[in-house]
Amino acid sequence: MEWTAEAEAKLKEIPFFVRPAARKKIEKLAEEMGATQITAEIYAQAKAKFGSK
């Protein structure tokens, strides 16, 4: 799944040791939404849903 530069930057705010799991959860959510790209908006929705940064 493709990530925008802005979404990638936000992902880097997550501690490195949980980043791979967070990436997978965000990508799964985006797939369920029918998205083809992770944007800052999708990242924000995932953050709200999962309660993570």
Say what the pLDDT of residue 53 is: 46
pTM: 0.87
Q: For residues 36 and 14, what is the distance between their CA atoms, to the nearest angstrom? A: 22
Residue-wise DSSP of 1-49: -EE-HHHHHHHTTS-TTTHHHHHHHHHHHHHHHT-SEE-HHHHHHHHHH
Question: CATH number for the domain including 44?
Answer: 1.10.8.550
Q: pLDDT tens for residues 18-41?
A: 999 999 999 999 999 999 999 999
Q: Would you say 25 and 46 are in contact if contact means Cβ atoms under 8 Å apart?
A: yes
Residues of the domain holding 23: 2-50
Counted domains in the chain: 1
Residue type at 21? A
Share of the chain above pLDDT 70, in %: 96
Q: Would you say 26 and 42 are in contact if contact means Cβ atoms under 8 Å apart?
A: yes
